[in-house]
Amino acid sequence: MDIISPQNPRVKEWAQLLEKKHRDKQHKFIIEGIHLVQEALTAGADLECVAFDLEQGIPSELAHLAGGESAEWIGVSPAVIAKCTDTKTPQPVFAVARKPKSAAGLDALMSREGSLVIVLDGVQDPGNVGTIIRSADAAGADGVILGRGSADLYNPKTIRSTMGSLFHLPVVEGDLMEILPEAKRSGARVISTSLQAQDTCYSYDFRRGSCWLLVGNEAKGVSEQAQQLVDDALIIPMRGQAESLNVAMASTLMLFEAMRQRHFA
C-alpha cells in the first residue's frame, strides 16, 4: 500500500511522533535516514513499518533487508517524508519503531557481574546524550541509564547522535534515586568526577567488579541527591588551560580508560 497524501490519518499519527508527548502516548518513535534504519533492521529492532520514497524506490543499502515479516514496507511521497521527519533535508526513508520495555534491560544490567554502565543525571543536550550512548557502545559498556531531567532518548536529535548505537546496547530511562541504590545493593560502585578528588581516572582500578560511571548536567553537574550515592570521586587531570571538559568528552574518556584497563592493560 502506497501513501501519497500528507493528510492521510496514518501519516498524521506518524508526524505526531516528532513530539515527546505523543511518543510517550503511542510508545513509538521515528528513525530517520538510511544508516539508522539499516542499523535498526540489522539489530532486529521492533519496527512497525519502513516508509520509503516512492519516486526513488527502496534504497539499495536496505534492499536485502526488505520483505521480512518484522516490518511493513510502505511507499510514500516526498511530502509525507517531509512531514514526518525532523531534518531540513530529509533522507528518502524513515521507520516507525516501538519502544523497548525498560524493565528487562535494567534487570539484565543489575544481574551482570563486572558490568560497566554510564549513568546520566540531567544531561539535557540531545547531542551530548547521543554521543555518550555512541561512546558507551564503542567502549563495550554494558548499558546506559538516563535519569530524569536528561534529554529524551527518542528525540530525533538524540537518535541521530547515537549513529545507530541506540540499537546495540540497553539504554534505560528511569529514576536514579531508585536505580542507583539498587545497583549498589547488587554490588556496583558508583563513580563520579570531581575537581576536588584525590584519585585520577588513570590511577583508579576499573577492574574491581561493577563500575557505574555517573555524569551530571552540563551546567550544574551531578545533583546533590545523586552525589550522596557516589562511592568514589575521580578527577580527570588536565595539562592545558581549559576550565573543564564537555560532559560527552569526559564520559568518553572515562569509558575508554575503563576499557583500556579491562581489555588492553
Mean pLDDT of 248-262: 98
Task: Write down the pTM of the prediction.
Answer: 0.95
Mean pLDDT, rounded, for 199-216:
97
Task: Give dist(CA 44, CA 115) in Å, integer.
Answer: 24
Provide the pLDDT for residue 248. 98
pLDDT in tens, 150-183: 999 999 999 999 999 999 999 999 999 999 999 9
Output the pLDDT for position 126. 97
- Tens of pLDDT, residues 130-157: 999 999 999 999 999 999 999 999 999 9
Q: Where are the alpha helices (DSSP H) in the chain?
A: 9-16, 20-26, 34-42, 78-84, 102-111, 126-138, 156-162, 176-185, 224-227, 247-263
Q: Which residue has the cell 539508522?
A: 36
Residue ranges of domains in the chain, CATH in brackets = 9-98 (3.30.1330.30), 102-263 (3.40.1280.10)
Average pLDDT across the chain, whole number: 95
Half-sphere exposure of 233 (CA within 13 A, CB side): 12
